[in-house]
Amino acid sequence: MATRSRRMETKLIHEGEPSPRIEGAVSIPIFQSSTFEYAGQDSYHDLRYIRLNNTPNHAALHRKLAALENGEAALVTASGMAAISTVLLTLLSPGDHLLAQDCLYGGTHDLLKGDLAGLGMEFSVLDGTAPRTWEAALRPETRVLYMETVTNPLLQVADLEAAAAFAREHGLVSVIDNTFASPVNFRPLDWGFDLSIHSCTKYLNGHSDIVAGAVIGKADAIERITHKLNHLGGSLDPHACFLLHRGLKTLSVRLRHQNESALAVAGYLQKHPGVRRVHYPGLESHPDHARARRLLDGFGGMLSFEIEGGVEQADAFIENTTLPISAPSLGGVETLITRPATTSHAGLSPKDREAMGISDSLIRLSVGLEHPDDLIEDFEQALSRGRS
């Protein structure tokens, strides 16, 4: 990318835009055409067709996403899970083994445990904060190291520098799910990762109105993944491409607001006598705070906490708040609140959740674009109602 030196805000607006502009349109039009006129292509993968992810809406997004994380190339997919499954099915063959961080996104965990295991691809988990223990988990058939930048819902930040170095040293492909950080807070390729994956459903689109995914990396790897996606069929619809493209332009201003608001809310909750524990990597009390400070440009818009009492008090608190919407997912303009035991981690047994440090009364917050003082006032009244 020739314009690597440009800053994130500028790249979000200008990278990847059609040149010259189509009929002068400032905003890229939606190319709602499944197929395009034959132009002498000699490879199936180059025929222009929506499933082959090569319409003008795809191409513009690919250029923009690659530029954001200083990658050679990028690919958009029909969902975050389409990106994750397609990447892993490209990198792994039957008999291969994958090493993954121990607190994965639920869908990824289920894919590894349920679907890939059924195809003869095994995995084992490692503690992302303890690099000394990783070597013992290696097998001759280990091919991939799979990490997440910030974990859900405890917001852990693993030793990501060590992870990229470990993968390089042992000839593994390093893959990281960068959804929670977004390119504004972390750019995995700059830290030595081979492939960065996003659920664009979250921060990249930012408006809770589409599902989409992306992979960013070296051109040859992205080409292999693209060919796999062309066969699996998880392509992104042009209208969703358009919405993602539009959402991306405001990513940086949204994220900076969310970084600041989440820090303010976390600080408020930490001081409140009715709150037992707050998990936010921007707080000095977070076990990974020093590492987060070194690796990340912002601590993100996600936090989780436990209030005094049990599940009943947690549900009453959620009920008593007026601004956050009680819904799973994250990264949009509206503040969302959930109890992970009933949403993202409902598939695990209470014992497994306990072992992961996820109590049934844990509350997770995705901070939106409301004024943080209004959120704090809302939490104040909800907490005081719980105590009376």
In the list 62, 202, 339, 353, the residue contacting ligand PLP (rule: CB under 6 A) is 202
DSSP string, 5-55: TS-HHHHHHHTT--SS-GGG-SSPPP---SB----S--SGGGS-BGGGT-S
15 or 148: CB nearest ligand PLP? 148
**Residue 51 a catalytic site member:** yes
177 lies in the site for ligand PLP, by CB under 6 A: yes
DSSP category for residue 129: T
Number of amino acids touching ligand PLP (CB under 6 A): 15
d(C-alpha 325, C-alpha 198), whole Å: 23
Q: Which of 177, 187, 203, 268 is catalytic?
A: 177
Q: Cβ contacts of residue 348 below 8 Å, gap of 6+?
A: 106, 356, 358
d(C-alpha 99, C-alpha 144), whole Å: 6
Enumerate residues 42-81 that contact ligand PLP by CB under 6 A: 79-81
131 lies in the site for ligand PLP, by CB under 6 A: no
202 or 345: CB nearest ligand PLP? 202
Q: Give the residue nearest to ligand PLP (CB).
A: 80
Residue with tokens 């006129």: 37
Only segment of 24-32, 173-181, 255-263, 375-383 that touches ligand PLP (CB under 6 A)? 173-181
107 or 309: CB nearest ligand PLP? 107
Q: Which of 64, 96, 105, 228 is catalytic?
A: 105
User: Shortest gap between Cβ of 97 and ligand PLP (angstroms)?
Assistant: 21
**Residue 177 a catalytic site member:** yes
d(C-alpha 31, C-alpha 343), whole Å: 36
| Peptide bond preceding 131 in cis form (omega within 30 of 0) | no
d(C-alpha 217, C-alpha 71), whole Å: 5
60 or 204: CB nearest ligand PLP? 204
Measured from the Cβ of residue 346, the count of other Cβ atoms closer than 10 Å reads: 12
d(C-alpha 122, C-alpha 26), whole Å: 48
Only segment of 55-63, 194-202, 252-260, 274-282 that touches ligand PLP (CB under 6 A)? 194-202
Enumerate residues 210-229 that contact ligand PLP by CB under 6 A: 211, 213
Contacting positions for ligand PLP (CB under 6 A): 79-81, 105, 107, 148, 152, 177, 179-180, 199, 201-202, 211, 213
Active site residues: 51, 105, 177, 202
